[in-house]
Amino acid sequence: IDHRTSEISLKELIVRRGQPFKFTLKLAKPFKLALDELIMTIMTVNKNSTQPHYRKKLNFKCVAIPPDFLSLSAFCVILFNVFMISTGDMVFMPDEVERKEYVMNEQGIIYKGVDNYIAPIHWDYGQFEQDMVSICVKILDCSIKHKQDPAKDVSARCNAIYVSRVITSMVGGILYVLCGILKGNWGNDFRGGVSPTHWSSSYPILKNWFNACFCSVKYGQCWVFSGVMCSVMRLLGIPCRVITNYQSAHDTNKNLIIETYFADYGVREKENYHVWVEGWMRRPDLAKDGRYDGWQVLDPTPQEKSDGMFCCGPAPVSAVRNGDTHLKYDVPFVFAEVNADCITWLVKRDGSQVKIHSEDHRIGQSISTKAIGTSKRMDITNSYKQKEEITAEVLFMNPVNELLRNCSLTLSGSGLINGELPDLPPKNRVRVMVGMIPYRSGERTLLVDFDCASFRDIKKSSTVIIRP
């Protein structure tokens, strides 16, 4: 039975949970069914304890006559199972093409730049490179959760929600974790390490961390943190992809308002982007009907504490889109990253402040990820944000001194609206309010055509600018 783990190792026993597997046992002498018996005992044991709670090491003890005839010990790794629906795994993904992209693909693209000049960079995830199993298991073992209560931590590793949360805390762990994988640096001094732009692969970072007695690798920024986390998630069998949010906000006081201050003699700060990952899993802890299942935001870049740790997520993308900010984990923070209002203040020399600009649509633009099976970019902004309705007001004044009969008004505009309005009753003055949801961005033209029994084809147009 194919567990699709041959890419990871052909020497170690690595299986996906909930799926049967076979192994061959070679004995020192022929097995006689009438005289011999074979007993297999399986235990989960902590390497540093005699208590049977650590779900990492399997001891196969085979006893014949005499009882000490044969014994062996085998190390077994059990991964999440994204492939088989019959296993009922919480990370199961029904589409085979998506499974290949988000679990098995070792190469990807991460997007940087600005929303009007998006710059793709290639990234090597390398989740099946040598020693990646040992590295990823060690990441879990180094977490603060494991140090506080090893038995509880290992028992909870069957839950992808828990595991993904631990990984976010470890990739960018600071303060409370002495062995976080990466140390962030957003300055210009990279002494003692390398610039974040140096990296283009996760494996050298993870290997350096593992070989250096679990000391943080210097240095990383958001796209590096996310690339590394994606590698770990995919190795463990949790579908994962890297997401870039342009015009990203950091709402420190949780009021969904981003305030920018600059002096009347200064320069406005540059626009920004932020990179996180999404992991695919069910969320039975939030709803039994599956409304919050699917992609979950996980942000390994250390920004804000969550339950006392620097980690973020998993936050359901569907909850972010619908504004369900009361849900865990960290939905309000992610919601603000893509939806906050921007207010710009001018700070004068005397310390007084003047509000000079306010925008409610700037944040959260061109949210991007690599498309499935291709190197093209996929815009998933609509997964995070509701399409906003705009209203067009059309006013027509009867220019003649007679009653206009059989009036009709047709509105059209590529990317704005489809279809016609019903006939308008004959009046001297008509005002029509039309709601529409644009489906393409950019500069668009709204066309209005008024017809009646007395004259036809009274046309007017208006330019509408639709933001992405």
413-422 tens-digit pLDDT: 654 444 444 4
Residues 308-353: tens digit of each pLDDT: 777 898 999 999 999 898 998 999 889 888 876 555 656 666 767 6
d(CA 256, CA 339): 7
The pLDDT-based confidence of 62 (bands split at 50, 70, 90) is very low
Bridge partners of residue 410, in order along the sequence: 449
- The backbone region for 128, taken as left when phi is positive above 0, alpha when psi lies in -120 to 50, beta otherwise, is alpha
What is the predicted pLDDT for the residue at 68?
40
What is d(CA 3, CA 20) in angstroms, rounded to the nearest whole number?
A: 9
Architecture of domain 390-466: Sandwich (2.60)
Q: Is 281 exposed, middle or buried (0-12, 13-18, 19+ CB in 10 A)?
A: buried
Give start-end residues of each CATH 3.90.260.10 domain in the chain. 96-383
How do residues 391-401 score in pLDDT, each as one tens digit? Answer: 777 777 777 77
Of the listed ranges 7-21, 200-214, 434-448, the one predicted with least confidence: 434-448
**Could you give the residue numbers annotated as active site?**
222, 274, 299
The number of residues in the chain equals 468
Position 145 pLDDT exceeds 60:
yes
Q: What value does the mean pLDDT of the chain take?
A: 79
Q: What is the pLDDT of residue 135?
A: 95
Q: Are 65 and 37 in contact (CB under 8 A)?
A: yes
Q: How many Å is the Cα radius of gyration of the chain?
A: 29
CATH superfamily of 96-383: Transglutaminase-like (3.90.260.10)
Work out the angle between the directed axes of helices 222-236 and 132-141 (0-180°, nearest 10): 110
pTM (2 decimals)? 0.74
pLDDT of 435 higher than 80: no
Cα–Cα distance between 447 and 468 in angstroms, integer? 21
Start-end of CATH 2.60.40.10 domains in the chain: 390-466
